[in-house]
Structures are given as C-alpha cells and as structure tokens.
C-alpha cells in the first residue's frame, strides 16, 4: 500500500541555519503531497502542498518540490527561526481516496 518515509528526529539546529527534512513516498498513480506542521498542544496545520510532478509548494519561507523520478518531497528552509520549532509531517493523498497517509513526523528544535 501507499506509504511515506521521513527522516527520524529530533533535528536540532541553531537559528538562521539551513533546514532540510527528507521525505520519500510509495504510491500508485499520482498522489498529492503535503507537509503539515504541529505545534505543541495543537492540531495539524497545512504548511504547503504540491499536486503534480515538478510542482513546488512554498509557504512562510519553506519549500518542497514534487520529484516523481525520485519519489521525494523534501522540505527546505533557508534560515530557520526559533518559532519554527514544531513537529513536521510529510503526507500523501491518493487520487481515488481521501485518506491521508502520514510519515512518522520529525521533531525540529531551533536554538536561539
């Protein structure tokens, strides 16, 4: 079945460092891909999305490109802030199904 694999955390960086969180997926067809963020005690917020190959999703300085050839959707940010500390989830949704498949999540700590 469909699945998402993302890098294990926690990831600890200093403020203004470059961030990459790797994500790869397995799916039939052409799924939509997402990054969600979860702040402590909160639900999930959609950070960005891409619905077809080579699409680039971007929001709040974060970016991810839908790479069909490598089945990847890595999250990047050029300069992280303390306020970016949260858990990040890579996810996919198939074309025929509303079910969202999530990765295990990556906890990010940004040190001032």
Partner 1 sequence: KAGVTQTPRYLIKTRGQQVTLSCSPISGHRSVSWYQQTPGQGLQFLFEYFSETQRNKGNFPGRFSGRQFSNSRSEMNVSTLELGDSALYLCASRKGSRRENTEAFFGQGTRLTVV
Question: Is the CB of residue 19 less than 8 Å from the CB of residue 76?
Answer: yes
Binding site for partner 1 (CB under 8 A): 32, 34, 36, 42-46, 49, 51, 89, 93, 95-105
**Minimum CB distance to partner 1 smaller for 17 or for 58:** 58
Collapsing DSSP to helix, strand or coil, 83 comes out as helix
Longest dimension (CA), the chain: 44
Name the minimum Å distance from CB 76 to partner 1: 21
- Cis peptide leading into 109, omega within 30 of 0? no
In angstroms, give the least distance from the CB of 99 to partner 1: 5
**CB nearer partner 1, residue 50 or residue 80:** 50
For partner 1, the closer CB: 74 or 93: 93
Give first-to-last CA distance, the chain, whole Å. 41
């Amino acid at each position: 079945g469909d699945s998402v694999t993302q890098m294990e955390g926690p990831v600890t960086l200093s403020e203004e460092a470059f961030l990459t969180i790797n994500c790869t997926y397995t799916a039939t067809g052409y799924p939509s891909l997402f990054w969600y963020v979860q702040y402590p005690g909160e639900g999930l917020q959609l950070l960005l999305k891409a619905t077809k190959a080579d699409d680039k999703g971007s929001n709040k300085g974060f970016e991810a490109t839908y790479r069909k050839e490598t089945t990847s959707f890595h999250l990047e940010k050029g300069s992280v802030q303390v306020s970016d500390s949260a858990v990040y989830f890579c996810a996919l949704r198939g074309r025929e199904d509303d079910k969202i498949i999530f990765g295990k999540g990556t906890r990010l700590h940004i040190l001032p």
